[in-house]
Amino acid sequence: MASQNGADAAFAIELKGISKAFGPVQANRDINIAVPQGTIHGIIGENGAGKSTLMSILYGFYKADAGQIFVNGQLTLIPDSQSAIRAGIGMVFQHFKLVQNFTVLENIILGVEDGPLLNTSLAKARKELERLARDYDLEVDPDALIEDLSVGHQQRVEILKALYRQAEILILDEPTGVLTPDEADHLFRILKGLKEQGKTVILITHKLREIMEATDNVSVMRRGTMVATVKTDETSPEALAELMVGRKVLLEVDKGTAKPGDVVLKVEDLRVRDEHKVERLKGVSFDIRAGEILGIAGVAGNGQTELLEALGGMIRATGKITMNGQDLPLQGKGSDGQSRRRAGIAHVPEDRHHHGLILDFTAWENIAFGYFNDPDYQKNALFMDNAAIKADTAQKMEKFDVRPPIPTLAAKSFSGGNQQKIVVAREMEQSPALLLIGQPTRGVDIGAIEFIHNQIIALRDAGAAVLLVSVELDEIMSLSDRIAVMFDGKLMGFRDPETTNERELGLLMAGMTGKEEAA
Amino acid sequence: MDYGSLLQILDSTLRLATPLLLACIAGLYSERAGVFDIGLEGKMLVAAMASGAVAASGMTLVFSIPYASTEIVLVSPVVFGLLAGILASLLFALLHAVTSITFRGNQLIAGVALNFLASGLTVLVAQSLFGQGGRTPPLEGNARFNPINLPFADAVKDVPVIGPFYHEVISGHSILVYAAFAIVAVTWWVMYRTRFGLRLRGVGENPAAVDTAGVSVKGLRFSAVMITGVLCGLAGAYMATALQAGFGKEMTAGRGYIALAALIFAKWRPVQAMYACLLFGFFQALALRPDVVESVVRIKVPVPFLDALPYLLTVFVLAGFVGKAIPPRAGGEPYVKER
């Protein structure tokens, strides 16, 4: 333990009494944490628990209101990112800070050039990069443009950037959110390699599995405070979840077997081109039965968004879709969202901030979106019945446990999980024959995740067909009755969640079919 | 059309392309750093007025040799005029920078406001100083940038084809014309071979990347906008002291906007910007020689149509007929630090 006046040099990072408030919101309250050198230290907590704020203070993005930072036992002031870099701290952000049309090399040297001219810096960086690639299993083409690289490779560039700046302490903020399982495994191998070389890694995540897999110690944050720091092999996912949420949480989804009925939606050879005439959906065919959840797994950007938007009537498509035996138009008249809703298709879009809600509008106004013409919402031929909408909203908020249950509050004033509950309540309460739901729990707390999952199951049990799109493989595996994997605009095949595993799905997500693997 | 007329048109092309080129490269610095600048026009206009006014005042710095009645002119009025033009344009650039970088105002609106301000202010000041209906007095002698004859211009004049080309087209322009083309080369080198250029391009594409690398986004954008100010100052001063002899109301006549169109045409690259400006300059030069156009196309082309050509081309470019031009990704957006 640290001595009274200083700090123990065995700790790469030691924070003492860190507090930070944004206006009335106390984001960090008297945080103490000690990260031993040469370890992988996990920081886990729900959204808004203050993990990112804490790391931003450590990287010089925010200034703490109170508290001290010790780096390798030295009291260190970190007023800006430059000081953090000098102190040997590197950060890999969730959203990469890369210049898309620069090469890997140019991105690496940006800000740490050796002189006013680039030639020498580039040559030096190229050599150094070769060494780092050898030492840490971080292969990247130094002359590739960032925009041509996969997300996994872009992340490697971020790690290389930090290492090039001689970082001894590497912070990674939600690093696996954009990776395939294979890429994530590779990342963890890299992190273990870094640890073996004596570097210290701080891993921020909300995924319990990653914590259990990769870390030596784990600190749990809840509502701005540090509630516990424990050795990873002395704890369990259940115990961590309870620390995060403050109550017992059921991690496994409790669902009965499906009783599939008739085919509700039949999709044949569905194709979508984007504005650059590039085909994003390359002939997708499947059907969903009543009382069944079909999960679409895949890395973001492989056509899942286009699939949801085409079915939801947001974009034009070609092919054929049949709902309960009736053709639905894919372009022109009758292919809009309004008509789809009338046909019994409800849609919880992937991006709730852009397509699910108008953040500046109140909760009750948002509840009416897409259902303005609902007879219950009309006072007479001219006017809407606002009072009825508000009453209806209050009812839905209560049923879906939206907090605070105030219909007149602006949508932006709710937390991510409660915003999502508003969207889910609006769509599910219409008792749709088919529910399209994209990333149902993105940016949603564990407690709300449990709730939304249960609602999806309840809707299925009530006889609705559900098309679930998610990049979270855990979510797909635990909710779906059937799993289809999407890659490059095509379905790679269907799997039964009972008999498949993450490795098989991961290979499909990377575009490798079983045959190729065998070959 | 004879060779002589062609050479004359090419000669005019260079002269007329120069202010466009200076303004276009000026815009390139600012926009590559992520600050859209629709106020090139205004900056050129104030620079033209300031340089015209100061050059007309005859301000000269001389060195008198003691005990002799000879004086050596150290700084002639036109140089003072040039400095005044740069200063005026810098002042406007500073306004633009403070509004759109420090206070994160809308870059386009700030630019439009500067254009309006320049349009009224220049005439007002010129009128109150000289009382000649908003013009500055005509400039002559060392109050103007005069043509420079390049070495051997006269000697090679009689060499077939190349000789007249060198003598008529390349030689005999003011120093600012040569400076403009030199600036293109320098700009290419700065943008692609120096640390400053790398950071400048980075800040226009993804300021967060530059910020997290520990480099000041505001500092970079300020320097870029200041360089824009200097180059617009050169463009404006060239208009009043070289292309013409004095400032006249709205004398830039939309060249700031044409420069912007050329910049988009060139997809924000310096060498391509030079070609684009030469093309626009060529169209402007054609309007000066309707007789030549007529002899080539063999129908009578109305002069107003020729006058309108560069502007039509501008509309054509801005409407996106030249293919998709992708502007710097962070262009137009004030940078707000966020996680």
Name the packing angle between helices B217-238 and B255-265 (round to 10°). Answer: 120
Is there a domain that residue A254 lies in?
no
Domain count, chain B: 1
pLDDT bin (cut points 50, 70, 90) of residue A448 is confident
User: Which residues, other chains included, contact A118 with Cβ-Cβ below 8 Å and sequence gap of 6+?
Assistant: A109, B193, B194, B195, B197, B198
Is there a domain that residue B280 lies in?
yes
Is there a domain that residue B332 lies in?
no
B66 or A14, which is more confident?
A14
Is there a domain that residue B118 lies in?
yes
What count of CB pairs under 8 Å joins A to B? Answer: 69
Is there a domain that residue A504 lies in?
yes
Query: Cβ A115–B195 below 8 Å, yes or no?
Result: yes
Does one domain contain both A292 and A310?
yes
Peptide bond into A404 cis (omega under 30): yes
In the beta sheet, which residues pair with residue A201? A40, A170
Does one domain contain both A393 and A339?
yes
Distance from the Cα of residue A383 to its chain's centroid: 41
CA distances from A415 to A56, A235, A448 (A): 21, 29, 11
Q: A131 is in which domain, residue-wise?
A: 102-160
Is there a domain that residue A238 lies in?
yes
CATH code for position A398: 3.40.50.300
**Residue B338: predicted pLDDT:** 62
Give pLDDT tens digits along chain B (339 positions).
688 899 999 999 999 999 999 999 999 999 999 999 999 999 999 999 999 999 999 888 888 888 877 888 889 999 999 999 999 999 999 999 999 999 999 999 999 999 999 999 999 999 999 999 899 999 999 999 999 988 888 888 888 888 889 988 999 999 999 999 999 999 999 999 999 999 999 999 999 999 988 899 999 999 999 999 999 999 999 999 999 999 999 999 999 999 999 999 999 999 999 999 999 999 999 988 888 888 888 888 888 998 898 888 888 877 776 677 788 999 988 998 764
Does one domain contain both A339 and A401?
yes
Does one domain contain both A173 and A294?
no
- Residues of B within 8 A of A107 (CB-CB) are 209
Is there a domain that residue A298 lies in?
yes
Q: Contact at 8 Å (CB) between B317 and B325? A: no
Is there a domain that residue B323 lies in?
no
Q: Contact at 8 Å (CB) between B214 and B19? A: no
In the beta sheet, which residues pair with residue A15? A33, A69
* Residue A82 contacts B, CB cutoff 8 Å: yes
Is there a domain that residue B246 lies in?
yes
**Residue A9: predicted pLDDT:** 63
Does one domain contain both A348 and A459?
yes
Q: Contact at 8 Å (CB) between B126 and B134? A: yes
Per residue in A154-168, pLDDT tens?
999 999 999 999 999
- Torsional sign, CA A313, A319, A323, A325: positive
Is there a domain that residue A230 lies in?
yes
Query: Cβ A121–B329 below 8 Å, yes or no?
Result: no
Query: Closest-CA residue in chain A for B327?
Result: A101
Does one domain contain both A358 and A442?
yes
- Residues of B within 8 A of A99 (CB-CB) are 201-202, 205-206, 209
Q: Name the 3-class secondary structure at A245.
A: helix
pLDDT bin (cut points 50, 70, 90) of residue A2 is very low
Q: In 3-state terms, chain A is what percent helix, strand and coil (to 5)?
A: 35, 25, 40
Spatial distance between the Cα atoms of B279 and B310, rounded to a whole number of angstroms = 9
* Closest CA relative to residue A66, chosen from A40, A36, A107, A30: A30
Q: Which runs of consecutive H residues, i.e. helices, occur in chain B?
A: 3-32, 40-56, 77-97, 107-130, 162-164, 175-193, 195-205, 207-212, 217-238, 255-265, 270-288, 290-297, 303-318
* Residue B119 contacts A, CB cutoff 8 Å: no
* Residue B219 contacts A, CB cutoff 8 Å: no
* Residue A28 contacts B, CB cutoff 8 Å: no
Q: B230 is in which domain, residue-wise?
A: 3-144+162-318
Does one domain contain both A290 and A374?
yes
Per residue in A289-346, pLDDT tens?
999 999 999 888 889 999 999 999 999 999 999 999 899 999 888 888 889 998 999 9
**Candidates A52, A81, A106; nearest CB to B214:** A81
Query: Cβ B206–A117 below 8 Å, yes or no?
Result: no
Domain count, chain A: 3
Residue type, B10: L
Is there a domain that residue A255 lies in?
no
Does one domain contain both A232 and A367?
no
Does one domain contain both A191 and A149?
no
Query: Closest-CA residue in chain A for B326?
Result: A101
Measured between its terminal Cα atoms, the distance across chain B in Å is 64
Q: How far is B125 from chain A (nearest CA, A)?
A: 42
ipTM for the predicted complex = 0.88
Of the candidates A111, A132, A160, which is a domain's last residue?
A: A160
pLDDT at A4 over 50: no
Is there a domain that residue B57 lies in?
yes
Give the rounded percent of residues in chain A with a pLDDT score beyond 90: 57
- Residues of A within 8 A of B198 (CB-CB) are 102, 106, 109-110, 113, 118
Query: Cβ A113–B195 below 8 Å, yes or no?
Result: yes
User: Which residues, other chains included, contact A51 with Cβ-Cβ below 8 Å and sequence gap of 6+?
Assistant: A43, A44, A45, A204, A221
**Candidates A59, A110, A117; nearest CB to B193:** A117
* Residue B339 contacts A, CB cutoff 8 Å: yes
* Residue B325 contacts A, CB cutoff 8 Å: no
Query: Cβ A121–B195 below 8 Å, yes or no?
Result: yes
* Closest CA relative to residue B12, chosen from B168, B119, B151: B168
Of the candidates A144, A160, A176, which is a domain's last residue?
A: A160
Does one domain contain both A148 and A181?
no
Lowest mean pLDDT among A43-52, A68-77, A467-476: A43-52
B280 is written with which tokens? Answer: 């626009």
Q: Contact at 8 Å (CB) between A303 and A486? A: yes
Q: Which runs of consecutive H residues, i.e. helices, occur in A250-331?
A: 304-311
Burial letters for A280-289: b for 16+ Cβ neighbours within 10 Å, e otherwise?
Answer: bbeebebbbb
**Candidates A61, A99, A113; nearest CB to B206:** A99
**Residue A216: predicted pLDDT:** 95
Measured between its terminal Cα atoms, the distance across chain A in Å is 55
Is there a domain that residue B155 lies in?
no
* Residue A164 contacts B, CB cutoff 8 Å: no
What is the signed CA dihedral for A280, A282, A283, A285, rounded to 10 degrees? -70
**Residue B47: predicted pLDDT:** 98
- DSSP at A410: B
Does one domain contain both A317 and A392?
yes
pLDDT bin (cut points 50, 70, 90) of residue A519 is very low
Is there a domain that residue B61 lies in?
yes
**Residue A7: predicted pLDDT:** 55
CATH code for position B203: 1.10.3470
Mutate to test the interface with B, among A82, A85, A94, A110 (most CBs of B within 10 A): A110
**Residue B225: predicted pLDDT:** 98
- Residues of B within 8 A of A80 (CB-CB) are 214
Is there a domain that residue A39 lies in?
yes
Does one domain contain both A70 and A114?
no
In the beta sheet, which residues pair with residue B261? none
Sheet architecture: strand order including A345-348: A345-348, A434-438, A465-469, A293-297, A482-487, A490-495
Q: Name the 3-class secondary structure at A37.
A: coil
Is there a domain that residue A251 lies in?
no
